[in-house]
Chains A and B, each alone.
Chain A
Amino acid sequence: MPPRLIKGLLASLVAGGILLAALSWWWAQPAVAPPDLSALEGSSRQHIEEEQRASRSITRSITASRTEKAAAWGRLGEIYMVYVFRAAAMEAFRVASTLNPADFRWHYLYAEALDDLGETARSAPAMADALTAMQHDERVRTADRIAALCFLGSVALRLNRPADARRTLQLALDLDPAQPFALFSLGQLAARENDPKAAIDYFRQAMQRMPGRREILIPLADQYRRLGDTAQAAQIAQGLKAEGTAQPLSWPDPIRVSLNDLNHSGSRQARLGLDLLSQGRWRPAALHYGAAVAAEPNNALHRARYARILIALDMLDEARSELAKAHQLAPENEETRELHTLVLAMSPQTFDEALSTAATWHREKPESLEALRSLAEVQFRTAHFEEALATLQQVATREPAETDWHSSRARVLAALGRYREARQELATGLRASPNDPTLKLNYARVLACSNAAEGRDGKLALQLSRDLMALQKTAIRMESLAVALAETGQFEESRRLIAEVITIVGDDAQTSMVRRLNGELRAFEAKQPYRERWLFEDRK
């Protein structure tokens, strides 16, 4: 055999071997089953697919280092995590933490992903690995360490490992002596071990950082009962029954929070918008809903809610345009129909159209309470007050247990100048539902701001407003207290309070609210109580 041929053969063998080795190596790469994206909205799917491609280009590269591959898997895990593909996220983080055990972030997120999946016991060693890696990493912030320790404390509590929980939580307190979750959890441990005095001490310390949190007040009251101090327990528990949705006490998790922006979905934008709305921040909420509509243009719900915000911001033309599109997408959607009639009822030029649209809806859907309510609203806004009262009576007959119609009737009565009846209406409603905060707020408003003396009772308004503030301090409740204070002649206090509300809500509130707040401020500065014909449509 000619030497050249032998050489060629050898070279081919070597090249083939290298190719074979490369192929085996390529196939031996860790695999994470990609989740099914078919049910996702288009923009989200596109985003994830782009990330998958980018990740693949690194994880399958022969030249990329283990650290780079770990980062690629980690990034993909983050994307899966924020889009709630929990199993895929967990797998991606597992691979990332295996490829680069020195990076605390992959262990940390692997632990959280496991916990998200209910794999609590498995999550703890992963978080312990994260703490190990944190020791040698300059990027680590104290808040990250505290979060990791609180996570481990929480896991140990849930797994009933009290000694471990205590040690870990104490370590968190070494880093932040007032860390409320750690203090609260140590209180729980003390309560579990029948040491009410120690539990009370921890709970009280936690309350210093988080005053008024019912999640702390309730177990605190329990511990006083254990000590036989029922009076103290009752005092603490007072007011707890009235209202308020509890959120589990947790700890700041900066690493997890930093991932949120990776989620580009319309539903996340809508959730963010909703959160802002609950804080009375309408303008930034509009931006998020606008983004939700852009990400998911065929979602009628997003469009309808966007339109609702635009209405509140007096952007009626834009609202009409959104509602027209929403109506096209979901012609039977009641929210869209309600908003459509509302927007018509907001301009005198379209009053007649508003009335006929609302009447048609009610005729088409006589069983729909929304149609009936909408008709009443349009009748009110177009000054057909007696008709509005009659329509609201139908609402009351059909749903006596609901409370909204009391407020709506009272509003119409006030508009008619029948303030005494408006008061009675709200008082009746409040007797039936003594803990309804909206009724209480509206009642306080009538009592403080009615045009006629027969509608007013400053002392009662003050009492109702203070009750509401004791339960939860919000801008609207502060405003209620301010007008009640002014009605009882305490102008300086009311001026100070309303100025604070204006600062809190800034320019983000509903346009009508901003207008009203400024009117109230002017009145209080002139040492006069605030008077209005009482339209509390923005108070629902």
Chain B
Amino acid sequence: MHNSSSLWPRCVRTGAIVLLAFGIISCNSSSKAPARPVGAFRDAAAETGLNFVHRDGGTGERYMPEMVGAGVALLDYDNDGDLDVFLVQGGNFQPGQLKDDGPSSRPALFRNDLKVNSDGTRSLHFTDVSQRSGIGYLGYGMGVIAGDYDSDGKPDLLVTTLGGNHLLHNQGNGTFQDVTAASGLAGEDAWGTSASWVDIDRDGRPDLFTCSYLVWSFAIHKTCTSRGGGKDYCGPHAFTPARSHLYRNLGDGHFQDISLSSGISTKAGAALGVVAGDFSGDGWPDLLVANDGMENHLWVNRRNRTFAEEALERGLAYNAEGEPAANMGVIAADFANRGLQDIFITHLMSEHATYYRNLGNGQFEDGTAAAGLDAPTRPFTGFGTAAIDFDNDGWLDIFAANGEVRTIEEQVRNKVRVPMRQRAFLFRNRGPAKGFDEVQTGQFLKQEEVGRGVASGDLDNDGKMDLVITNNGGPVRLLLNQTAGTAAWLGARVLLAKAPGSPPLDALGAIVRLERPGEPPQTRAVATDGSYLSSGDPRVLFGLGNSTTAARLVVTWPDGTREAWDNLPAGRYHQLLRGTGHTPDAAR
């Protein structure tokens, strides 16, 4: 991104409109700085044994759920210190045929058998443990979110489908048990999409928010027409938006549906993405819901298990053009290292992705163009997205998987299979003054697919963020971060125990601040939510650039209390268990 105002005077030609306009362009075109060579991501799915193909079940009827895709979760289900991969599956998609028809209609669980060799190199390999996990057919799957709902120290899974949720309890022996009915989550017969574990009442137990997309069934299926006159998928406006759900975790393995009493289900929305965070600035977790083709919903926590919808009032409902865009994937992250969570939302082709800047007073503004993200994101229909510091320079970058939702006529004419393909994008953050630059190196960033889910995490524990991407009706991709360079890093798993001696769980909702002398602080949220239909690494990872000096981490726990750890060496992950640090005000 280049600010052209200083270049302008050189270009001005007196008087004529024409030359003025010409000057604008020619000067700017020539002023583009050469891109700094950066490393790349390499797809290592096949070579590491992560073999999975999503089945959209498409028959040519263009049933809308076929093109929504499915998510992926990164979780350490066996507590061996590395991230395993759970992949949601679609399956057959015809009236009366939504049923188990073998392994290709069931989700898959891959165990990470990472080996760190004596020379420090890593061998990453995945073993398909789907069958022994006990996870069977769950219906036509959509999203997934990992979280330890029963505080037993083992991450569980919540899977959303076209016809309701499935809560899969991690039994600690490599198997999962479907406890949906017993938990009280079985009543919801909605088209579920993304979800979030969020402790809305600060009682130490993660509550559950599930997005519902549209009221849809085979009976009310509609077909729309492509530009070429063929059958095509309809947009969300062809159907009635659904109402999302909020469940209170009662702590005894049961959930109470508080959708109505909390206010959440008072407003319908075509919800595809959700991210929790303190967006109002009062220390309590709020929920930002990305709605497809309509205004977003910001549910502000009123601290009594009720929420008020304030997206319009806080500048998050619409983009700067006043348009209710097709909001899909959503992430919240401190992109400007100001200690505030900004928002990034992916959108439909010809709309731009939106970067909402947090103004610090509970207000947001659309800062997309100023961040250099307007024109470069318009050619893409984005879904899953991730805030990752891929080059560990201390600034969070943006990745998104893209793929159209309607057929691309040119691809139809070129006889492309699944003609909705687009390449992914990666934007490098050069700091608030310079904004974002697109990085186009690496084969993967040239490859066109129908990208949907994205989960970010450090799969080989090398301190570089990797990505897992799901493709609609296509194979999963494992993008190993191959970025060259010697940038230092520091990671942490942030844990709290329900009671002394009880197993610790990831402190979802905690904020971790990295402090180093002479460097801007960085903050990261402990979260698995955000993106689209997917669930990411709950650990936090900080890029330290060229500095390898020990750092201080200050954790703000979900209940608002703070705790610090000093002199943490770079180049490794630290476990920050609540109660083992000191108060931040104490001397370092």
Contact = CB atoms under 8 A, between A and B. Distances in A.
Interface of A: 35-41, 84-87, 117-118, 120-121, 124-125, 127-129, 131-132, 134-135, 145, 148-149, 152, 155-164, 167-168, 171, 174, 188, 191-192, 213-219, 221-222, 225-226, 230, 233-234, 237, 240-241, 245-246, 248-249, 265-267, 270, 296, 299, 301-302, 367-370, 372, 398-399, 401-403
Given A121-B375, A158-B352, A152 B322 contact: no
8 contacts: A125-B26, A164-B8, A168-B20, A171-B21, A191-B320, A215-B322, A246-B322, A370-B220
B580 interface: no
B44 interface: no
Contacts of A402: 215, 220, 240
A372 B218 CA distance: 13
B24 A270 contact: no
A2 to B, nearest CB: 61
Contacts of B225: 267, 270, 301
Contacts of A226: 363
Looking at B18, B22, B26, B365, the one whose CB has the most chain A CB atoms below 10 A away is B18
B587 interface: no
B412 A39 contact: yes
Contact of B413 (A35, A159, A241): A35
Contacts of B282: none
From DSSP, what is the main secondary structure of chain B's interface residues? loop
Given A84-B410, A125-B29, A246-B324, A158 B375 contact: yes
B190 to A, nearest CB: 9
Given A40-B228, A118-B378, 19 more contacts: A39-B228, A85-B410, A121-B28, A128-B25, A132-B18, A149-B21, A158-B374, A167-B20, A167-B24, A191-B365, A215-B321, A218-B312, A218-B317, A225-B315, A241-B295, A301-B223, A367-B219, A399-B219, A403-B240
B116 interface: no
B378 A158 contact: yes
Interface string B53-75: 00000000000000000000000
Given A118-B379, A191-B320, A215-B321, A160 B29 contact: no
B318 interface: yes
Contacts of B24: 124, 128, 152, 156, 161, 164, 167-168
Contact of A249 (B226, B321, B410, B414): B321
A168 to B, nearest CB: 6
A160 B229 contact: no
Interface in B1-46: 1-5, 8, 16-26, 28-29
B323 interface: yes
Contacts of A246: 318, 322-324
Contacts of B226: 267
Contacts of A367: 95-96, 218-219
Contacts of A124: 24-25, 28-29
B375 A132 contact: no
A167 B25 CA distance: 12
Contact of A214 (B18, B22, B320, B322): B322
A167 B352 CA distance: 23
Given A158-B375, A159-B374, A267-B228, A131 B22 contact: yes
Interface in B322-377: 322-324, 352, 363, 365, 367, 369-372, 374-376
B122 interface: no
Given A161-B4, A241-B312, A121 B29 contact: yes
Contact of B227 (A159, A171, A234, A267): A267
A270 to B, nearest CB: 7
A530 B355 CA distance: 53
Nearest to B30: A125
A249 to B, nearest CB: 7
Interface in B421-470: 435
Interface residues of B, number: 66
Contacts of A120: 375-376, 378
Pick the 5 closest A-B CB pairs, nearest first: A118-B379, A369-B219, A215-B322, A163-B5, A218-B322
A125 B25 contact: yes
Given A225-B313, A246-B322, A368-B219, A131 B21 contact: yes
A113 to B, nearest CB: 13
Nearest to B190: A401
A296 B228 CA distance: 11
Contacts of B387: none
A128 B21 contact: yes
A248 B323 contact: yes
A449 B516 CA distance: 74
A296 B226 CA distance: 14
Contacts of B312: 218, 221, 237, 240-241
Contacts of B367: 192
Contacts of B229: 41, 265-267, 270, 296, 299, 301-302
A38 B413 contact: yes
B177 to A, nearest CB: 32
Contacts of B96: 367
A160 B369 contact: yes
Contacts of A301: 223, 225, 229
Contact of A219 (B1, B2, B320, B371): B320
A160 B227 contact: no
A160 B375 CA distance: 8
B229 to A, nearest CB: 4
A171 B20 contact: yes
Contacts of A221: 312
B123 interface: no
Contacts of A39: 228, 412-413, 415
B378 A152 contact: no
A103 to B, nearest CB: 15
Nearest to B363: A225
A240 to B, nearest CB: 7
B71 to A, nearest CB: 24
A340 B273 CA distance: 41
B280 to A, nearest CB: 14
B410 A369 contact: no
B113 interface: no
A218 B25 contact: no
B31 to A, nearest CB: 10
B237 interface: yes
B217 interface: yes
Given A162-B5, A369-B219, A152 B21 contact: yes
A121 B25 CA distance: 8
B185 interface: no
Interface in B384-412: 409-410, 412
A245 B376 CA distance: 25
Contacts of B324: 245-246
Nearest to A174: B17
Given A246-B324, A266-B229, A270-B229, A160 B21 contact: no
A161 B2 CA distance: 7
B29 to A, nearest CB: 6
Contacts of A86: 410
Interface in B191-250: 215, 217-220, 223, 225-229, 237, 240, 242
B8 A167 contact: yes
Contacts of A127: 21, 25
A159 B375 contact: yes
A367 B219 CA distance: 6
Nearest to A126: B25
Interface in B85-128: 95-96
A86 B19 CA distance: 28
A241 B312 CA distance: 9
A503 to B, nearest CB: 30
Contacts of A163: 3-5, 8
Contacts of B378: 118, 120, 158
A157 B410 contact: no
A240 B313 CA distance: 12
Contact of B370 (A125, A164, A174, A192): A192
